[in-house]
Amino acid sequence: MSVIEPPIERAKVLATVQNVFFGRFYSTDIFLFYRALSGQYYRSPVMAGAMLFTQVYGDVLQFIGPLPPTDRAVAFLDEITIFWTNQIKRDLGPLFPVEELWEGWDVFTWMLEQDLKERPPPTPLPPQTTHIESVKLTDEQIQKLPFSRKVAYYSYRGDVDWSEQVYRYASVYFPEFFTVIRAVWPDHLKIFEFYGNWAKECFLRVPAKNEDRIMGKVILLSNYRFNMIVPDLLFPLHEAFQKEDFRNGLLEIASHIRKEAEEIRVTPIPPKL
């Protein structure tokens, strides 16, 4: 498989793509946004320290800080991104039967797999697992959804399943930092509780609160942004990424996600008498 750019440049682009995706849920911004919606704000100085650590470590991974990303950090990102790319192809492939789109997607996954082979294996510790309460539809329920809503559902499922894998792989790649991960995880679960409540309303017609709808819109728009910029980030790396159907396919997926985000409406708060 021919690759246009040298390995160092390729690794940097892949890390950029992965951190754009990773940062949708693991950044100071999303935690502060959750706290503003929930009215919880900082629970303790430990939470403030954990969020600062997350931000600084994210800066290092994105080549903003003074140090390059460690092999373990890159391997961790490779693992969770490979999991996600395989799931997205499985779920969205039948909805978007565009050959060049999935050929390019396979090249993206292949590059991640090659990058992972160059990294050290995780620690031999048993992985820690977590469960995120979420909406899971039957095939029959999915088939009844409008097309754009099917795309939004698979995007939502990808977020949930991917986040569970983040917890699992973080426990074996960063055991020394796992206390920090545990410190922020309750807030992460609350973010997904809001997101899940929006999903219940969207897919099952169970009424949600305004804060649930706003969180759903914010995350959907993050997914929309990711799909919009990935073609441009990957473009220099391989001829498969330079084909129009690859770019247009991702932009079409993004357009359906944005459509669902734009349909989210909040309800007025009645005045107090």
| 3 state SS for 103-169 | HHHHHHHHHHHHHHHCCCCCCCCCCCCCCCCCCCCCHHHHHCCCHHHHHHHHHHHHHHHHHHHHHHH
pTM over 0.75: yes
**Closest by CA position to 10, among listed 132, 89, 127, 107:** 107
pLDDT at 25: 77
Helix H or strand E segment including 219: helix 210-234
Total domain count for the chain? Answer: 1
Is 113 among the domain residues?
yes
CA 172 to chain centre: 20
Is 272 among the domain residues?
no
pLDDT at 49: 54
Distances from the Cα of 166 to the Cα of 52, 129, 130, 147, 229, angstroms: 19, 9, 10, 29, 22
Is 239 among the domain residues?
yes
Per-residue pLDDT tens listing for the chain (273 residues): 545 455 557 777 888 888 788 877 776 667 777 777 777 655 544 455 555 555 555 554 444 433 345 788 889 999 999 999 999 999 999 999 999 999 999 999 999 999 999 888 888 889 999 999 999 999 999 999 999 999 999 999 999 999 999 999 999 998 887 887 887 788 889 999 999 999 999 999 999 999 999 999 999 999 999 999 999 999 989 999 999 999 999 999 999 999 999 999 988 766 665
The parent domain of residue 88 ranges over 7-262
Are 12 and 63 in contact, with CB atoms under 8 Å apart? yes
To which residue do tokens 């292949």 refer?
110
pLDDT at 176: 80
Is 173 among the domain residues?
yes
pLDDT at 181: 80
CA 181 to chain centre: 17
CA 161 to chain centre: 10
Is 270 among the domain residues?
no
Is 271 among the domain residues?
no
DSSP structure class, residue 264: -
Are 119 and 74 in contact, with CB atoms under 8 Å apart? yes
Is 1 among the domain residues?
no
Query: Which amino acid, 271?
Result: P
Distances from the Cα of 160 to the Cα of 46, 81, 91, 142, angstroms: 26, 13, 14, 17
Is 37 among the domain residues?
yes
